[in-house]
Chain A
Amino acid sequence: MATSTRFAASLRRFQHYPRVTPCTSRFRPAVQVRWTGSTAATSEPHQPDTEGGVKGKTAPAKTIKFTSEAYPDIQRNSKFAKLTPDHVKHFQGLLGSESALIDGLSNDAAEDIEPFNSDWMRKYRGHTKLVLKPKSTEEVSEILKYCNNNLLAVVPQGGNTGLVGGSVPVFDEIVINLQKMNNIRSFDEVSGILVADAGVILEVADNFLAEKNHIFPLDLGAKGSCQIGGNVATNAGGLRLLRYGSLHGNVLGIEAVLPDGTIVDDLSKLRKNNTGYDIKQLFIGGEGTIGIITAISILCPQRSRAMNVAYFGLESYEKVQDTFREAKNQLSEILSAFELMDGRSQKLITKATGKKMPLEGEHPFYCLIETSGSNSEHDSEKLETFLEHVMETGIVSDGVLAENETQIRDLWSCREGIPECLGHWGGVYKYDLSLPIEDMYQLVNDTRARIEEAGLIGNDDSHPVLDVVGYGHMGDANLHLNVPVRRYNKEVEKLLEPFVFEWIQKKNGSISAEHGLGIAKKPFIGYSRSDTMIRLMKQIKDLYDPNGIMNPYKYI
């Protein structure tokens, strides 16, 4: 076959179709600055690629500072027992198989145990000597009962993708990892209710549902690694929240184990059940502090067949708000995402990757709108009327509409590629905040003004700060305030904190919109919650976990 090489070459070229590669996969941070561990800002050194997976090299675990060193104020609670060979022997007997346990006490298992000790951001690192991987709810129950009786502290762990250091030990807490509990228990095609073990990986669940024309009501960058139990434990928000609402509404039932071994079987498949306190809500966003979730039942919507994405340039934040109002008004039920990106964030994408942006010319603000529905003609008609309206009335200065799937992905990469691109020059101080929509962007301006005044922002190497940018899930009033820097710097940190938190407090916002508290945000909860609320939370913690063995040193 004389033509075969030529043909293969042309196919190969086709696979390298130029626009398929968004900026995220083209580039690696030039420098990796070591985290100094002195602010509450979280970092995301690696962002999902086009497929939504998380790839790329992370810092070797051994170079990460121990949390116990980075936070010298946190002391190990001496009431907790230290792990002994007897304890390990007990767990070996309990779990049977060898692969269900990593014993770092009697062997040198440092290599095997390290991934369970350090978190995804490479910012937190613990000292555990034991990882347990139960296969059933009963095993979880036996483990917790024993730990509770022997005062052994534990950390529940899912996919270990959490961004606030909640999923790894601080000292020698035992890691209980749910990865072996990964069965899908049932799916009802009529009601759309999925019942599955906590350790099922989000992407696996979503692929399973896709085959049945349904969709998991949550999507996020870490879907290839995170577990649905972890998602529920962190009450993850993600990309589909605007459309499908939060897990507090979609999770219909939970099976969980309390520290004393009690199995809480509330795996309800009912949408309506007004019979008493809704206890399962305490586990949603409870970050493993009152019990371990072992299974969930969740309501999954029908998957949309038609999808459209548009990208706009706008002249002011007021116009962004007008666009949002119009989008809700005219697109209503098909609107599935409304994302905000400021002009500075888009410029930094070009600067970091050389990517050609979709619009000619520069605009102070950009936004991305996604619609999804069941009927492409119906959606297109609505969308066209909307687009005509915002263009003709001058709400939007310029815009483009994706004409195919490749363009849809490319437009999304202008939003999803931001976090990685910002890390290009060294590091980023990141805040994930909830604010009233009208005030959202003012915080970015105020923060920038503060740093400018101090002369710390500039184009050359003598200035630590490159810029102050804002982007986020506008539809959910969730702002990501990011400060990309060339190096971490104490002066900058002093300008940022507590300033940002105080600003949020004044507006009754939240200092952690979707990533939770963990260890990173624990000291700052007071900026978002009153003393009374915190007291009530502590009562619940004491009630369910009187010995305090569940995920200590974190949360509240």
Chain B
Amino acid sequence: MSGLRILVPIKRVIDYAVKPRVNRAQTAVETASVKHSMNPFDELSIEEAVRLRERKVPVSEILAWTAGPAKAQDILRTAMAMGADRSIHVVTDEKDASSQLEPLGVAKLLQQVVQSEKTDLVILGKQSIDDDACQTGQMLAGLLGWSQATQASKVDVEGDMVTVTREVDGGVETLKAKLPMVITTDLRLNEPRYASLPNIMKAKKKPLEKKTLKDYEGDFSARLKTVKVTEPPPRKGGVKVEDVDGMISKLKELGAL
């Protein structure tokens, strides 16, 4: 085999540490002048791809791919600074409703990328923290008819055999499958590295190809309509009670006893 061709799809989302706010019209979360970064699960995907190569698994190429607004280019540069070899940016217009992508749309796009790039392994985040859908990886595997291992906490590749450990309630599950395959990442998989300055410099010279949805065939438009977005109800503050009797009467008062 000439070496794995790994595809890592990534997404630009509101920074994990920023508290999102609902817009006035209650139609979406406010994104204007809010700090954005790479979806944290996607950092794990890039990191894992790079580590596979560092572990001497034959990897011929790591391709980072994103569909998103012009600014999403930043996360592709970050991915390349972390070790991806090149990237593709499908530039979408934030204001154009027909380019609002849902997981199925993204999976369909990725299906075509996989075919044209002759990908053997796709590593995706198990979910993106903006809409928490947890669907893209699974849909892609379905469309391709490939094996999938979701929520990976450990990945081993030997020849064309992949062993994935995933955390399940109360224990771990170990799966084995042959390439090609789709893997989605979970938090315990690795600790993503920092983009070092020399690598940030190098990343600037790596190829970044720009495309649009028109370069792909098919209908990617959204099928769902967001009716309303609201904040979770504010948490009520606790109360202090003097003693056990006080607690019991309070619980009775609240109807908990």
Among B35-43, B136-144, B154-162, B207-215, the one that faces the other chain is: B35-43
> A400 and B198: CB pair below 8 A?
no
A277 at the interface (CB under 8 A from B): no
* Residue interface mask A402-428, B partner, CB < 8 A = 1: 111111010000000000000000000
> A17 and B191: CB pair below 8 A?
no
Q: How many residues of A contact B (CB 8 A)?
A: 34
Closest to B192 in A: A19
CB-CB under 8 A from A10, the residues of chain B are 126, 151, 186
B247 at the interface (CB under 8 A from A): no
A399 to B197, CA, bound (A): 5
> B198 and A407: CB pair below 8 A?
no
Given A6-B169, A17-B40, A391-B201, are A403 and B187 also a contact pair (CB < 8 Å)?
no
B179 at the interface (CB under 8 A from A): no
* Residue interface mask B186-203, A partner, CB < 8 A = 1: 111001001111101100
> A405 and B40: CB pair below 8 A?
no
Residues of A within 8 A of B (CB): 5-6, 9-10, 13-14, 16-20, 305-307, 310, 312, 356, 358-359, 387-388, 391, 396, 398-407, 409
A406 to B187, CA, bound (A): 14
CB-CB under 8 A from B15, the residues of chain A are 404-406
> A358 and B194: CB pair below 8 A?
yes
CB-CB under 8 A from A358, the residues of chain B are 194
Q: How far is the CB of B198 from chain A (nearest CB, A)?
A: 6
CB-CB under 8 A from B194, the residues of chain A are 358-359, 400-403, 407
> B198 and A398: CB pair below 8 A?
yes
Given A18-B191, A356-B191, are A404 and B38 also a contact pair (CB < 8 Å)?
yes
Q: List 9 A-B contacts (CB under 8 A).
A: A6-B169, A10-B186, A387-B201, A396-B197, A399-B197, A402-B194, A404-B35, A404-B38, A406-B40
> B197 and A391: CB pair below 8 A?
yes
> B197 and A14: CB pair below 8 A?
no
B216 at the interface (CB under 8 A from A): no
Q: How far is the CB of B11 from chain A (nearest CB, A)?
A: 13
Interface centre among B35, B191, B194, B196 (most CB of A within 10 A): B194
A402 to B194, CA, bound (A): 7
> B196 and A405: CB pair below 8 A?
no
> B198 and A405: CB pair below 8 A?
no
A296 to B106, CA, bound (A): 56
A14 to B187, CA, bound (A): 7
> B35 and A405: CB pair below 8 A?
yes
Of A9, A17, A401, which is within 8 A of B200 by CB? A401
Q: How far is the CB of A6 from chain B (nearest CB, A)?
A: 6
Given A405-B15, A406-B16, are A13 and B188 also a contact pair (CB < 8 Å)?
yes
B97 at the interface (CB under 8 A from A): no
B2 at the interface (CB under 8 A from A): no
B17 at the interface (CB under 8 A from A): yes
Q: How far is the CB of A373 from chain B (nearest CB, A)?
A: 12
Given A13-B186, A13-B187, A405-B35, are A398 and B197 also a contact pair (CB < 8 Å)?
yes
Q: How far is the CB of A438 from chain B (nearest CB, A)?
A: 26
Of A9, A20, A305, A388, which is within 8 A of B201 by CB? A388
A13 to B18, CA, bound (A): 18
A19 to B17, CA, bound (A): 12
